Structure 1
Amino acid sequence: MPVTDVTTDPEALTMTLVAEFAAPPERVWQAFTHPRELARFWGPPGWPATFTEFDLSVGGRVAYYMTSPKGERAPGAWEFLAIEQPHRFEVLDSFTDERGDPVEGLPSMRTTYEFTAVDGGTRMTNVTYFASNEALEQIVAMGAVEGSTMAMNQLDLVLEGLREYAQGKGTQTELLSDTHVRITRLIEGPRELVWRAHTDPELMKKWMLGPDGWRMSICEVDPTAGGQYRFEWEPVGDTEGEAFGFDGETVLVDPPRRMVTTEHMTGTDYPSTMNDLSLVEEHGVTLVTVLIEYPDRDTRDAVLATGMTEGMEASFARLEREVMG
């Protein structure tokens, strides 16, 4: 992981994050100062960022908002105080309301980003300065350490490119916390078609089957916010097992980029999960990312122990073979 250290200093009233990236300072600078690239890692998992304004000049303003899996927005803004391309910039970082005005009761913070060349790449040092210890404690209590760490740990994907980052690795499962798992799979094909494969029942029946020997007997899906879905699978031929299914609701949809759904095992009292699907395309390939939120660690571990990753890999391989062509 790129982040090597995060420390808070109550006496100096600072929070310092240090990360190292296998890319030169010029490339890391580009990722932080081009809004399309910055949007891909700025928000922590489950809270992707959308930039609506970006003026890279001293006194210039940056406006953005992060969107939760349930659709809540958390807006913010920067004002550039200093720019020394490609080694350093300084901003006034503020929480804002929907109009772009600072939120009363939440601090604005002076923040510096420095990019230093080291063997093998770049060391980034990010220092946030607070006006009081109360402000520092408030931001830490809001999850700034964890959120910043998870956000910066996503930057490798942007710096390397999708093919270099994920090609040939199959379906990857990462434990992000006791309740969050991230699953990634690179698909050889355009995002529009991958999106259709996740929302068109006829296409879904071709690939969303898990291991060989199963068929999707029920595929009812309404990919609109508030829409319901129901899937069921049954064994065929000599395959052993009993039919099972899942049902849930579409919570958020942003075609063809993101869809958030709940997932519940039909006919059981098992708790539901929140599944956050996102698709990113680059040079004709699409990275599928599914962020799953479980109710607790025991449920997470029980689901992973079923062989979920292997079943998803079988399905994704079938998606490339049967749908992408």
Structure 2
Amino acid sequence: MPDCGGDVPGLRLSGKPLLLTELFFTGVTVVLRGKNMEWSLTQNKLLAFHRLMRTDKPIGALLLLWPTLWALWVATPGVPQLWILAVFVAGVWLMRAAGCVVNDYADRKFDGHVKRTANRPLPSGAVTEKEARALFVVLVLISFLLVLTLNTMTILLSIAALALAWVYPFMKRYTHLPQVVLGAAFGWSIPMAFAAVSESVPLSCWLMFLANILWAVAYDTQYAMVDRDDDVKIGIKSTAILFGQYDKLIIGILQIGVLALMAIIGELNGLGWGYYWSILVAGALFVYQQKLIANREREACFKAFMNNNYVGLVLFLGLAMSYWHF
């Protein structure tokens, strides 16, 4: 992750006016004709970019989306302005894709030695390092153009978001706590959302940010448990390795911390009983996850990680119901 360009084959100048965009997926190539160029990409290359950005695996984007929606609904309070909502939803998908690209770029020397990641686009050669760098730049630029439509405070906060997205993948070489940086990166949309809506970052904002960090460390530790043996062999650090035999206990403590902080946020903002019921349901989902990881089996740990999507969804539904005016 949670839980990577340059010259493109077939690029050539054309001099033709902007008349036509042709997509030939039934053949081998996709041809895009622009004002001064004709851009040809093989179908395999497009699919490789698709895989590199993880657009085929939305779980990471969803785990980033839910806390963003929590923040927007609490900051407003209620349904936020449509444009602000659209910018943040698009930004989530774009920056998650950018994060996946830089993550795979940082791990390109290691992924070939891990069973689960050996066939990723960079280690397999489907995407070159130049192409990965260019794709990252394009995704970040589009995201920044969207942020420029918001207020100054949000724009300034977005700089930190970019720094966190870039730094996280490299932390696995220097600390056993890269998941903390991941939590900060995934949660930085929270102060940005508060800033975009109210031009302030109140106590509720930082409590939610902290809750998201605890949640991210919990679910990404579950994710890291899948690769623990491989990570030990190649020298990658993670909380799953750091926690060792206490991994399940610490995950449980972190999950309790998430629920407690979300309850405090509910109290501070006068949320209704529907919200507190959602916290109880989230707690039941955490208990289920503990059952899944009990024997530390790879598939079960991955299933527990995936289950966190429902935790985020349930908490959002609780918030939405609390602000719904019948």
TM-score using structure 1 length = 0.30
Instruction: Decide which structure has greater helix share.
Output: 2
Larger RCO (CA under 8 A, 6+ residues apart): 2
TM-score (norm: length of structure 2): 0.30
